[in-house]
Amino acid sequence: MARRVSPVERIRAEIDQLFADPTRDLAGVVEDVACLGARLLLQSALEAEVTAFLGRERYQRDPDAEPGYRNGHQPITVKTTSGPLHLDRPKVRGTAQRFASQLLGAHVTRTNALEALVIAGFVRGLSTRDVEATLAEALGPQAALSRSTVSRICAQLAEEFTAWSTRRLDEVELDYLDLDATSFRYHPGARAEPVLVAYGITTTGAPVFLGLAPAGSEGHDPWEAFLADLTGRGLRAPMLVVSDGAPGLLSAVEQVFPRSLRQRCTIHRARNVLAKVPVAAQAEVKAAYWQIFDDITQPPGQAAVNEAVRRTQAFAARYEHVYPAAVACLTSTLDELTVHLRFPTEHWQRIRHTNLLERTFGETRRRTKVIGRLPGERSCLRLVWAVLDRASRGWRGLTYTPAATRLLQDLRRDLFAPPIPEVITEPVTTAA
């Protein structure tokens, strides 16, 4: 009788097939690798439990072993924070006592301990030695990926990241540029350090992930060097830069893109305002804050800005006597918060904040929080890139109507090709 393929061997074959597929690039299959790695670990653990319980390997005969035998598998689903994982729970028959998995229990369908190891392996998988050590320590050598597969993963990831981070950007023409940073611990003995990220919307409305770089701080010099690298590779100035209010970032943008308009992230500013309000009143003040910017019906330009100013004055009149610090926090930067109102109405909700990057940063931090410190700077950058690059493929672009296109063309002409002022010369008169 032909030897049946075990669930573990099937998962290993899926992983090898995934990386052998020439039609898919590595960045596009990183999530699949994480999912398959989770299944591999959990399935291997289940099979190891049965082996220990019966005292013999699969297909091994031992007349001195306890009675009982494997009797196929039962499909189960384990819920994880990364989504449901489909496994095959081993079934055992003919034993003196009932087999119950210590990993999943008799009826448990949720686990976190091994998922943490999977995420650790995923992060440390950027190093061949680390991924082998992590998996071998968890479940023994039988659960580890083959050395050739691990090496291929690491080599391809490093190669693709290097090509992406040095590519030319001459063909990228932006309307909008989002700049933000998130922090990770990736140097021994150091605090969490920022990774700088740039994302944009092109003149055709398409989203584009532009760049990322490590930095010792979010001061002027790191941001200026990061933006200089992008422009050095051919990136042209956008019409609007969206960011938080970090002074170093703002000064760097002013230096590198002096003609671009600058929008302060309304979500970051909302947090600043609410930090100056008692917890019991934050829901009310938050609703009043967003009423300033939501549902403005005036056309883009000064009319829309004037409406936001009018609403801000009403906000100030309502709260300046009870929460003066919160009101001052809002009014002191109102000009920076309303720049987006000069752009097409259908773009307002998207370009008034950097929330798209914030949500993706949260996904990246979720993957790394179980590690504590990443193995190093290169591993950190490759992980952030892999997650962001994967996420960016699902980012929605913007719709460009004919009216929006005309408005943006007019704004671009005013910003980057202002009319040359006419020089009036007085007629020269000669003395009689």
Q: Which two tokens stand for residue 336?
A: 């920076």
User: Based on the number of CB atoms within 10 Å of its own CB, is 4 exposed (0-12), middle (13-18) or buried (19 or more)?
Assistant: exposed
Q: Of 185, 206, 205, 203, give the one whose Cα is nearest residue 194.
A: 185
Determine the Cα–Cα distance for residues 327 and 7; give it in Å rounded to an integer.
61
Instruction: Provide DSSP, 94-126.
Output: S-SS----TTTTTT--B--HHHHHHHHHHHHTT
170-205 burial by CB neighbour count: b if 16+ within 10 A, else e?
Answer: eebebbbbbbbbbebbbbeeeeebbbbbbbbbbbeb
How does pLDDT run along the chain (432 residues), one tens digit per residue?
445 778 878 887 887 777 667 676 655 566 676 677 667 777 877 787 788 788 777 777 767 666 877 888 888 887 665 567 788 888 888 887 777 776 665 544 545 444 444 444 444 444 445 555 555 554 455 444 455 555 555 566 677 788 999 999 999 999 999 999 888 777 777 788 888 999 999 999 999 999 999 888 889 999 999 999 999 999 999 999 999 988 999 999 999 999 999 999 999 999 999 999 999 999 999 999 999 999 999 999 999 999 999 999 999 999 999 999 999 999 999 999 999 999 999 999 999 998 877 766 665 665 555 455 566 777 777 777 877 776 777 778 899 999 999 999 999 999 998 666 666 666 656 555
Q: Is the entire prediction scored with pTM above 0.85?
A: no
Phi, psi of 240 (to 5 degrees): -135, 130
